[in-house]
A and B are shown apart, each in its own frame.
Chain A
Amino acid sequence: MTLQAETRTAIERARDRYPRARSAILPALWAVQHEQGQITPGAMTEVAGILQVAPSEVEAVSTFYSMYFQRPHGRHEVIVCINVSCALRGAEDIVDHLERSLGCASGETTADGAFTWSSTVECLGGCGGAPTMQVDHHFQENLTPDRVDAILGAVRSAGSGGEAGPVAAGTPRRRAAGAPALPPETPPAAHEEPAPSATSGPGVKKRPRRPGKGAQ
């Protein structure tokens, strides 16, 4: 038994919620990653047992979706978008700044284990506030290098990634432009996986960032 009782219960509830048990594989993997910070073969086998599917079927899902990962990450996850809308408004400067200030390349973890960060070409949906990143699933938009430092500094000193990062003083919240008023974290409904904590986060894009820009 590798999973805690609470995680097993969450998976069983998810299983019972759907018309077919297999549909619960994705929520089950989220529950596993929330508890253990990664998806291990042992955990996948246990999920398979609860859902009555083959372990290979669970593994097939875990390796397809980019937000599940198979190795431990830092305490906090930072993902910076470099798709078109963000690139047009300076995303590459943010990426360069992160590389310098965190002291590691995209896809890597800081020496103190605080942050795993990566740039991604997968549009996050923050184009109205480009350049955009997510810190532990929460949107942080209208980034400048100073704002990035303030956000990450606050996350580091708070020791928790469970809330939305602070908005830098003077940065307007443009609700009409799509900046959300974030709700407080609520306990999930009976069938859903527990909310992720600071120990888990979205999967890291395994592909290294291409060096094209750096050659300019």
Chain B
Amino acid sequence: MAELKLLTKDFGARDLQTLKGYERVGGYQGLRDAFAKFTPETLVAEVKTSGIRGRGGAGFPTGMKWSFLPKDVFPRYLCCNADESEPGCFKDRYLIDESPHQLIEGLLIASYALQVNTSFIYIRGEYHDQRLLLERAVEEARAAGYIGRNILGSGFDCDVIVHGGAGAYICGEETALIESLEGLRGQPRLKPPFPAVKGLYGQPTVVNNVETLCNLPHIVQRGGEWFKSVGTEKSTGTRVFCCSGHINRPGNYEMQLGTPIRELLEEECGGIWRGRSLKAFQPGGGSMQVLLPQHLDLPLDMNAVQEAGSSLGAGAMIFMDETTCLVDVSMRLVDFYRHESCGKCVPCREGTYFESELMHRLESGHATPAELASLADICSNMDGRCFCPLGDTATWFVMSAYKNFRDEFEAHCGAGRCPVRAQATALVA
């Protein structure tokens, strides 16, 4: 496929992180075009036309989410979700590091479309330097008149507040993010009511991912129809894929949707490292089911990957070579969900605890076959039964790994140690 860079095309340009550097490559023209060529209603329609789906993991059509706001209820709020915490995911950090103004411009365009006068950027606590970068960029934008009252003479007012989190993966879930922004423990809320109807401070609220918002200046300038022509029918545009694990060139790569995964792995990432071969990979970050080498021919398309039993999710690809122990990987992910469980609901709070205890006994070679068999039982009491998706996704990888690598899991029972790592050490030594 011809190489098309949309979000990352100017990355590396001189002083791109500053307002001057961003304007030099045409920055904030999208905002000007939004005011000049669109009303809020026609702008929402344009985003709907583009077919863009949320880039945070759930992939919900953005224009449709925007259209759920009730017509005459004000004030409304917009929150940029920069709480990126999915294992394997580092694209939002990259987008903020390289071009904080692109995010701010996208946020302002969305604010205009949604008629929001106070917008927030909720950024995870660990992204300390990124938060400072954003705060500085917000102040630059404010001084230039892009934030504040009567922006560019449009009659539209908008303030932007950068809000730092303090270490909680669950705050990436939109209702937990809203709770946290209200100054509470980050526990999810029941849906319905959805945030679009009743969100921050009980008002209509939209939560959008960093990358989703970064697309807006480009959709405004090049048009929704053009955007729809890029990618595939159900997955339009480009996405930034974070690639990590046993590859030669880990990093972020912007790809046109529809490109085969194999091309991403072999041409961008340089293939599997150390002359080894691929054993398994995760296409969408820690929450998603494992895929196998035969799935490399799948296109980077939400629907195609879903049909294969997994999801592109947050766009985080983790590649594992033949020395990898899938029980070890499963154990780490389960530990992650146990650590991050907010504690609100029983199946997640207790289930992740049981999963974690079991996986540690399994990986160390001390579990019995009966204990391993109970894994499926524990997971079936969690999946689809938890208050929010965190508890559900805590079962997806481990159950898919168990299903696809059953022999490997069973070989751990009573082995006294991890049999895969013992063998790999012998190979590698």
Q: Which A residues have a C-beta under 8 Å from some C-beta of B?
A: 17-20, 22-27, 29-30, 51, 53, 57, 60-61, 64-68, 82-85, 87-89, 121-130, 134, 137-139, 164, 174-178, 180-183, 185-186, 188-189, 191-193, 195-196, 202-203, 205, 207, 210, 212, 215-216
Q: Is B128 an interface residue (CB 8 A)?
A: yes
Q: List 14 A-B contacts (CB under 8 A).
A: A19-B201, A60-B185, A83-B333, A83-B336, A84-B333, A123-B88, A125-B89, A125-B124, A125-B127, A127-B250, A178-B91, A183-B133, A192-B162, A212-B331
Contact of A139 with B250 in the complex, beta carbons under 8 Å? no
B129 proximity list for chain A (CB < 8 A)? 137-139, 164, 180, 182-183
**Given the contacts A18-B161, A65-B165, A177-B250, A137 and B128 also touching, CB distance less than 8 Å:** yes
Contact pick for A66, options B90, B94, B168, B328, CB 8 Å? B168
Contact of A191 with B11 in the complex, beta carbons under 8 Å? no
B84 proximity list for chain A (CB < 8 A)? 125
What residue in chain A is nearest B93 (Cβ atoms)? A125
Contact of B286 with A138 in the complex, beta carbons under 8 Å? no
Contact of A22 with B182 in the complex, beta carbons under 8 Å? yes
Q: Which of B190-198, B226-234, B241-249, B383-391 contacts A (4 or more CB under 8 A)?
A: B241-249
Contact pick for A128, options B242, B417, B418, CB 8 Å? B242
Contact of B201 with A20 in the complex, beta carbons under 8 Å? yes
The 7 closest A-B pairs by CB, nearest first: A177-B251, A65-B166, A137-B128, A66-B167, A180-B97, A22-B183, A67-B167
Q: Is B222 an interface residue (CB 8 A)?
A: no
Contact of A183 with B162 in the complex, beta carbons under 8 Å? no
> Chain A's nearest CB lies how many Å from the CB of B94?
4
B93 proximity list for chain A (CB < 8 A)? 125, 178, 180
Contact of A216 with B182 in the complex, beta carbons under 8 Å? no
What residue in chain A is nearest B138 (Cβ atoms)? A189
Contact of A178 with B252 in the complex, beta carbons under 8 Å? yes
Contact with A along B154-181 (1 / 0, CB 8 A): 0000000111111111000000000011
Q: Binding site of A, secondary structure by majority: helix, strand, loop or mixed?
A: loop
Contact of B86 with A186 in the complex, beta carbons under 8 Å? no
> Chain B's nearest CB lies how many Å from the CB of A118?
12
Contact of B364 with A124 in the complex, beta carbons under 8 Å? no
Q: Count how many pairs of residues, one from A and one from B, have CB atoms less than 8 Å apart in the complex.
A: 216
A183 proximity list for chain B (CB < 8 A)? 17, 129, 132-133, 136
Contact pick for A125, options B126, B246, B286, CB 8 Å? B126
**Given the contacts A61-B183, A125-B127, A88 and B318 also touching, CB distance less than 8 Å:** yes
- Within the assembled complex, what's the spacing in Å between the Cα atoms of A70 and B415? 41
Contact pick for B166, options A30, A124, A174, A212, CB 8 Å? A30
B318 proximity list for chain A (CB < 8 A)? 84-85, 88, 127
What residue in chain B is nearest A183 (Cβ atoms)? B133
Q: Is B85 an interface residue (CB 8 A)?
A: yes
Interface centre among A25, A85, A207 (most CB of B within 10 A): A85
B86 proximity list for chain A (CB < 8 A)? 123
B119-149 residues with Cβ-Cβ distance < 8 A to A are: 124-130, 132-133, 135-136, 138-139
Contact pick for A23, options B94, B166, B183, CB 8 Å? B183
What residue in chain B is nearest A191 (Cβ atoms)? B161
Contact of A67 with B339 in the complex, beta carbons under 8 Å? no
- Within the assembled complex, what's the spacing in Å between the Cα atoms of A196 and B186? 23
- Within the assembled complex, what's the spacing in Å between the Cα atoms of A206 and B249? 34
B252 proximity list for chain A (CB < 8 A)? 128, 176-178
Interface centre among A17, A123, A192, A202 (most CB of B within 10 A): A123
- Within the assembled complex, what's the spacing in Å between the Cα atoms of A180 and B17? 11
Contact with A along B250-287 (1 / 0, CB 8 A): 11100000000000000000000000000000100010
Contact of A210 with B167 in the complex, beta carbons under 8 Å? no
Q: Is B223 an interface residue (CB 8 A)?
A: no
> Chain B's nearest CB lies how many Å from the CB of A172?
11
Q: Is B363 an interface residue (CB 8 A)?
A: yes
**Given the contacts A128-B242, A215-B417, A123 and B286 also touching, CB distance less than 8 Å:** yes
Contact pick for B245, options A27, A89, A195, CB 8 Å? A89
B128 proximity list for chain A (CB < 8 A)? 137-138, 196
Other 14 A-B pairs with CB < 8 A, given A88-B320, A128-B243, A180-B94: A24-B183, A26-B163, A60-B185, A65-B165, A84-B282, A88-B244, A128-B252, A139-B129, A176-B11, A176-B252, A178-B90, A186-B132, A202-B126, A212-B363
